Structure formats: structure tokens, C-alpha cells
Structure 1
């Protein structure tokens, strides 16, 4: 009896428009060398304009397609049942004016959020009282407390997000990267369930 061929689908990939998607693009294949190389080069989908921006490769359809072409082979599907293929469009150079406008909006929004937070927790009266407790003198603007606090607030945000422009301080993912990853994973799961043609056929029946 021939050794089985194991196929493990990737969770998601990105491809160019009009690309021919081969099995090796969407899955890892292992098994007898003579059939492994042939399967890896097997074209399983041709990207067209009708696909718009994503395609769902279903494992059941994939195994069925391979068995039809190689009926003598034993195919074992392991891992994810679907692979979400994101069709990447040609990226255009971002507008400098648009970048500046977005940066300005984010800066103003972040500044307003920080100021409103400090107002809600009465930060200035707290600093004034702390200054009085340490020096015995009343001061409306205790700058020796406020300036280091402001600098520390900015440095704390930089360390928290683990980024200074494109530079990372360590290999740990930042909270923003984790949230983007979780969002992308949830999006891929939604697409795999809602846009899977096999699932839709099962619901219709």
C-alpha cells in the first residue's frame, strides 16, 4: 500500500491579481517524493476579476480535486480546513498631504483624550497638593513635577507600544500588533465561514 500524502493548509496567504494559485502556495505537502513534487505544482485556482479581493480555498474541494486526478493516492488533510486567499492590489504611493492631515487629526485627538482624562481625575490639584506636602509652599504650576510627568508620559507610551517610528526595542509584539493580528484572525474566520462555497451549499440543502 502506498504511503499517504499529507496536506496542511495555510490559514491565509496573499497573492497578486490574475495569479495561478498552486497547491504549494496554499499548503504544505509531504509524502512520497515522486507524487509530492507533482502535487506541489498542481494549479488549483486561477484568480480572476470575479474573485474581487479574496478567495476561500476549501479543503474538501481540494482533496476531491486531487483524488479525481490521482485516484490511486491516499490523501490526508490535517490542520485548517480552509485557506483564505487575499488578492493584493497594486499599492499606490500615499499622498504626503493625506498623511499630514491624518497625523494632525490623530495628534489632536490623542491630546484631547489625555487632557480630558487629566481633567476628570483632577490631576493639576493633585500635583499642587503633592507640591505643598513636599515643600510646604502653595504653587499654582509646580513645573518641577509637571515637566518630568509629561516627559515620562510620552516615554511610557513609546515603551508600551514598543515602537519608535520603524525601530522596535525588543522582539515582543506590541499591543497594537497583537490587536491587528486578532482582528485579522477573526476576519479570516468570518470569511472562511460566510464566503465558503461548500458551506453555502450545505446550508442550501
Structure 2
């Protein structure tokens, strides 16, 4: 079973979309078997379990032997076309994050009295007191930007190396937690519906 896929609402989801198949015979025919469909009342995410796949395959080959490898379910997310209102939100969010991070850095420097620290280090290194120790402040400012590039592992769209960025890791862990929550929630819902029908 594949971990997660996207499909438009209302379209039939086929076996080849939710599972990798290895079979003797006509694999292409098996891949085209309908497994599930988003119903109008469904949420934007649904789960196709291994048992749903077995149920479909049993109708064609009751004597067949099935083996499941990997996760026992596939999460199917409703794909939606990108609308303009969402795209227009990118600039205000970017601006908010840019200004917010700038303010956070400036407030941090004010809290730790960075100017006084630079003035003191400048005096210790040169023996000259300076109101604006640019000799330290310019490399320090450039170093903050360079450090951010190295930390986030991106220069425009190019990655510096193959390691995932901290943001990619956080998004990955967040998606893993959402998927696990959805699986647990869906299993509890299905168990409740089986109890009430039994």
C-alpha cells in the first residue's frame, strides 16, 4: 500500500493508485479495478485499508493468495486546484514573517545590549573606543545572513547539500503526526460503526 496519494473529489480511485502490485497475469487489469470514491459528505481525507483491497480482489479471484507488504492503509487526500485567493495570501504571510523575524532579531540584540558588547570587544581588540564599531558590526550582520543560508540549506531554489532542511523536517514530522491522527481517528470511527451495526 502506498502511504499517501491525492485524488480529485468524485473520481473513482483505482487499485493501481493506492497500491503497488506484483502479480502473475494481467497487472494492468488489476491496477484499473475501482477501490473507493470520495462521497459528497466525506471529509477531504479518507483511508483505504488493505482489507478494502482484498475485498475487491476476492470478487475477481476468490482462490487467489494475497500478501501485504508495508503499511496496511493508504491515506487519500482530496486534491483541489490552487485558487487565486490562496496564492494572494503568500505575499502578506511572507511580509509578516519577514518583519516579525527582523523584529525578533532586533529585540534580541537590544535585550543582550549587542551594541555595548561590540563596543567593548572593539576596545579590547584595538584599544580605541568607538560609538559605531563597524569593524565588528558589518561582518556580524553578514554572518547572520550567511548562517541563516547554511542553517536552512537553501540558496534560492538550490539546496547546498542533500540533507533535509530543518523546515522540511518539521513539515515531515507534522505530516506524519496528522496522518497518524487520521488513521487512529478513522479506525476508531470504523470500529464504532461496526459495534453499532453488530
With the shorter chain as reference, the TM-score category is 0.7 to 0.9
Q: Which range moves more in the overlay, 109-118 or 167-176?
A: 167-176
Give, in angstroms, the shift of residue 95 of structure 1.
6.9
Give, in angstroms, the shift of residue 159 of structure 1.
1.8
8 Å contact 2:9–2:78 — kept in the other structure?
Answer: yes
> Structure 1: which 5+ residue stretches go unaligned?
1-8
Count of residue pairs the alignment pairs up:
196
TM-score norm. by structure 2 comes to 0.88
In structure 2, the partner of 1:69 is: 60
SS at match of 2:48: strand
8 Å contact 1:19–1:46 — kept in the other structure?
Answer: yes
Cα RMSD of the aligned pairs, angstroms, is 2.1
8 Å contact 2:35–2:52 — kept in the other structure?
Answer: no
C-alpha offsets along residues 8-48 of structure 1, whole Å, 9 cap, x if unaligned?
x01111112222111110110112124x3332111101223
In structure 2, the partner of 1:187 is: 178
Q: 1:105 aligns with which of 66, 78, 96?
A: 96
Report which structure shows greater RCO (CA 8 Å, sep ≥6). Answer: 1
TM-score norm. by structure 1 comes to 0.85
Structure-2 separation of matches of 1:203 and 1:151: 63
Structure-2 separation of matches of 1:43 and 1:121: 63
C-alpha offsets along residues 41-70 of structure 1, whole Å, 9 cap, x if unaligned?
111012232223111111123223322432
